[in-house]
Amino acid sequence: MSENNELRLAVLIDADNVPYKNIKGVLEEIAKYGTPTIKRIYADWTKPTVSGWKSLLLKNAITPIQQYSYTAGKNSTDSAMIIDAMDILYSQKVEGFCLLSSDSDFTRLATRLREAGMTVFGFGERKTPHPFIAACDKFTYFEILHVSASQEEQNNQPNLQPILKKKEPTDKLNKDIINLISTSIDDADENGWASLSKVGNIIIKKKPDFDSRNYGYQKLTLLIKSMKQFDIQERETGNSKKTLICTKKKKTEIKWKRRIGMIIGFHHAQITIPKGKEAEARDFYCGLLQLTEIAKPVSLLGRGGLWVQVGNQQLHIGTEDGVDRLRTKAHLAYEVTDVKAIQKLLIENGIEILESVPIPGYERFEFRDPFGNRVECIKPLHRELEPL
């Protein structure tokens, strides 16, 4: 998501569902999206479970909101946070909200704020239910944020465990993520290339909790560079201080090295005629066209039809009923030595010659055999031309 330092943000923290050790990294992350003009945290501060927060509130200018638990087992701080959020919304003092919680109870609040035109950034632990994640414009996991508590903070708060600066990836790249990136590049494609910032925005709209840091990379650029499926390119813009980074999907390269099992040529082609028409087929193909009939394997004699030799290849003429051969463009093309002579021969034997689109460098015509199969006769005008 693109940075917008002019965005005024209300940061609302559910202390019961946010580890206090994450707050420094979260506030640094929020600063990328705008200015947190309101920072409030909600809890029953008489409980010892939230005592770790107290020394951090003044340092980070966070206003604590006291909410007593009126009934055992009920989280009244959620209600206080929701009411405050709606008051802030109608005060029109901010353009966005940062909701810090791993509780799905704030799903409807996030949805309502977005309906009102607010940008909603969610922050929570990996255990956060998906409905709350999907309700936010962008959702970031605490686990991927860079947090480094000072030695003084650790000495003053024994319960505050040291946080490593280097975070291990919390997710692995899988086919779904690769497909997400690939389709987003397609959606942002402009003349074969897509702006990486635009791609990032599209990805976030599709998957609010997407973050390159989930996969061990600080930037989307580094993540894309590490993937063999995509190319990346840096381009200078009109402003010499800015570089536009673009990406595209790599084309699959086909290796044409000869390997065992590779296709090396045509062995035969097959056409069909109606069942019981073998005699007529012999008259036409072996008599009129003067092709040589060759023996079929004994195992195939019971299927009917016949085989003929055509140069170095074979033509297999099988039998098949219920086929309208006049409706298909599929055909065989025979290379001939004299187009005019064979065309004259066919006309004399009642075969209609069909019009065909001229191809530079070739002399050709088409016709239908007595069974409706489309046939082409073609001759290169220059011997160096390869057969089509």
Encode pLDDT of 321-334 as tens digits.
998 988 888 888 89
Q: Do domains 6-167 and 268-380 have the same CATH topology?
A: no
Distance of CA 167 to the CA centre of its chain: 27
Res 50 pLDDT > 90: no
Res 34 pLDDT > 90: yes
pLDDT (tens digit per residue) in 264-317 = 666 789 899 999 999 999 999 999 999 999 998 888 888 899 999 998 889 999
Res 257 pLDDT > 80: no
**Sign of torsion, CA 96 210 215 2?**
negative
pLDDT (tens digit per residue) in 161-195 = 433 344 556 677 888 888 898 888 888 876 678 88
- Give the pLDDT of residue 265: 65
- Give the pLDDT of residue 159: 45
* DSSP label of 17: G
Res 42 pLDDT > 60: yes
pLDDT (tens digit per residue) in 67-93 = 887 655 456 788 899 999 999 999 989
Average pLDDT (343-357) is: 91
Mean pLDDT, the chain, whole residue set:
83
Res 149 pLDDT > 80: no
pLDDT (tens digit per residue) in 359-385 = 888 899 999 999 999 999 988 887 554
- Give the pLDDT of residue 168: 58
- Give the pLDDT of residue 17: 86
Strand locations in the chain, DSSP E? 8-14, 35-43, 63-66, 96-100, 119-124, 138-141, 194-195, 230-236, 243-249, 268-273, 292-294, 306-310, 313-319, 331-335, 353-354, 362-368, 374-380
Q: Pick 3 or 377 by higher pLDDT.
A: 377
Domain ranges of the chain: 6-167, 168-253, 268-380
Res 136 pLDDT > 60: yes
Q: What is the 3-state secondary structure (H, E, C) of the chain?
A: CCCCCCCEEEEEEEHHHCCHHHHHHHHHHHCCCCEEEEEEEEECCCCHHHHHHHHHHHHCCCEEEECCCCCCCCCHHHHHHHHHHHHHHHHCCCCEEEEECCCHHHHHHHHHHHHCCCEEEEEECCCCCHHHHHHCCEEEEHHHCCCCCCHHHHHHCCCCCCCCCCCCCCCCCCHHHHHHHHHHHHHHCECCEEEHHHHHHHHHHHCCCCCHHHHCCCCHHHHHHCCCCEEEEEEECCCCCCEEEEEEECCCCCCCCCCCCCCCCCCEEEEEECCCCHHHHHHHHHHHCCCEEECCCHHHHHHCCEEEEECCEEEEEEECCCCCHHHCCCEEEEECCCHHHHHHHHHHCCCCEECCCCCCCEEEEEEECCCCCEEEEEEECCCCCCCC
What CATH superfamily classification does 6-167 receive?
5'-nuclease (3.40.50.1010)
Res 160 pLDDT > 60: no
Report the percentage of the chain scoring pLDDT > 70: 81
CATH 3.30.420.610 fits 168-253, yes or no: yes
Res 158 pLDDT > 70: no
- Give the pLDDT of residue 280: 95
pLDDT (tens digit per residue) in 213-254 = 888 888 888 888 888 888 888 776 666 555 567 777 776 555
- Give the pLDDT of residue 146: 60
- Give the pLDDT of residue 253: 54
What CATH superfamily classification does 268-380 receive?
2,3-Dihydroxybiphenyl 1,2-Dioxygenase, domain 1 (3.10.180.10)
- Give the pLDDT of residue 260: 54
* DSSP label of 372: S
